Amino acid sequence: MQRLKREKFGRLSTEKTMLSLVENTLRRRKEEVLRMPQVENIRDLYENEGLSLREIARRTRKDFRTVQKYAYQDNWNPPVKLKTGPEAFPVMGEYIPIVNEWLEQDEREPRKQRHTVKRIYHRLRDEHGYQGSYGSVKRYVAIKKEEMKKYRESFLPLAHPPGHAQVDFGKFKYYDALGFDHEGHALIVSFPYSNTGWMQVFPSENQECLLTGMKRIFYHIGGVPIRVRCDNMTTAVAQVLEGAERVISDGFYRFMLHHRMGADFCTPAKGNEKGNVENKVGYTRRNMLVPVPTITDFEEFNGELLRLCDEDHEREHYERGLLIRELWEEEQRHLLALPQYEYEVFRYESLAVNKTGFITVDTTKYGLSPELHGKTVQVKIHFDKIEVFYDHQLLKTFRRSYEKNGEDCDWKDYLPALVRKPGATEHTRFFGQMPKLWQEYLKSVKGKERKSALLLLSEIVGDGNEALCDDALELAGEYGKLDNDNIRQCYLLISRPENHPHPLKLAAEPPPLNYRPDLTVYDGLTGGVAK
């Protein structure tokens, strides 16, 4: 028993010793920097009270080596700032601009894809013939990174640091293809440092429009702003707290994290805090949306807007005497790199189908099928389209409507329900969407005949031949009999011509028959001689 106790005590003692060694090693590696009052206290205990270094370390709860450093230090001159120029690193010399370019480029890239010191050393050696030591590269990179850190921080007090953007919406009027006027929403992303700006227009200011517009501009300019400033729009801010504190909406927060950018939000009712973009909204509206535009395709129109914005940067900056384009070329180097994976902008919802086969997104109803009554579908809501999924399969895609209390349904989705209730056909809200000739034909038939007609119409639509619906009816009318069997045959004739043989092509004159029958055969049959 005593032997076991001694062995156990010995193991514990060894483990404690090992742990102590590890702790001391870690402590030595991490040199603590003290504030001046703490240093003064250590000096007083050592110089005036004559305490030992270990006693001072115990009282102050500081590492022994830290206490020793400050107790023994005699030279209190401020440290000389190390230079990063070629004169301070003669071995690096001509290679310093190369390293600087790599490090500056790294500022735009994700952390996982930045140069390590070892990678810089290997590239200098293999690509540029560097003959110096690894240690020289390591020392230079460490000092340069510290210098770059202080440089970044020095921009913080400035009103318009390079690479920082402002975001805002502005309203405008536009016409559709039919000449009806609508209220549009112009998204502006401006860069105050260079006074550049880009515009994208949308039918709303919802989050899908906001993030889609920002993403398009980021990809157009080839980078992401370091920070963006905007007001407290509900698409970005879920709740305004005291001071600068904000609860950021989930979608906007995900967008920020994906693109590695920061965001600042204006003080409520303080639009002047983003004065550059406020002015840019008015400028672009006056110069690019006058006269009132006609927009039939937002994609096409927005592509043209990006081109016009690029052209606008060929003018002189309002106070710096340089072209805006030249200032932008300088500012562009400060942008963050685009993300490795493109961010898909959409809102995801699970919705129940009502008894009439509709789901509601915002205030618009979208028709699916009464057969899905009571089922739950998954909906991906983009700024311009709505994708409906059921049982992990894409069920239907709608063009997103921004009409208040609007309705979008397709008569073809309701044909199965009409087959079961044919008598209600002309009373449905989508009856007017059906092909014109079929509307008249369905009105003219009743009962089983109407049901058969609806089944035939479902067959034609199911084959993907909606365009042939009226053609089949017209052809049947030409043949003189308008009934379901005749309509079906006419449909098959025009939809599947390969199943019908081509008519025989006969010669103009039939070939002569060189055949002379032998009539004596009949004589044998009658037992006599033919006369």
Main-chain dihedrals φ then ψ at residue 182, nearest 5 degrees: -140, 160
Give the Cα separation of 64 and 58 in Å (integer): 9
Total length of the chain: 531
Residue 371: what pLDDT? 84
8-state DSSP, 273: G
As given in the structure block, the two tokens for residue 106 are 């790294």
The answer to whether the CB of 164 falls within 8 A of the CB of 225 is yes
For CA atoms 464, 467, 470, 471, the dihedral sign is: negative
Q: Where are the domains of the chain?
A: 2-72, 93-154, 164-332, 347-409, 417-451+460-499
Say if strands 164-175 and 227-230 run parallel, antiparallel, or are unpaired: parallel
pLDDT at position 429: 76
What is the DSSP secondary-structure string of 136-187?
A: HHHHHHHHHHHHHHHHHHHTTTSSS-TTEEEEEEEEEEEE-TTS-EEEEEEE
Cα 282–chain centre separation: 27
For the chain, helix (H) and strand (E) counts, in that order, are 18, 14
CA distance 75 to 99: 34
Query: CA–CA separation, 369 vs 97, rounded Å?
Result: 66
Domain 164-332 maps to which CATH number in 3.30.420.10, 1.10.540.10, 3.30.300.30, 3.40.50.1820? 3.30.420.10
Give 26's strand partners. none
Can you tell me whether residue 325 is helix, strand or coil?
helix
Q: Please give the angle made by the CA atoms of 395, 396 and 400, to the nearest 5 degrees.
A: 145
Q: Is the peptide bond before 268 cis (omega within 30 degrees of 0)?
A: no
Residue tagged 């031949």 (tokens): 465
- Chunked mean pLDDT (size 10), the chain, 531 residues: 51 49 47 72 83 91 87 62 55 82 81 85 88 86 80 55 93 92 94 94 95 96 94 87 83 91 82 79 91 93 95 88 91 92 92 91 90 92 94 91 87 82 80 85 86 87 85 82 83 74 63 73 67 51
Q: Alpha-carbon distance 369 to 300, whole Å?
A: 33
Predicted pLDDT at 398: 93
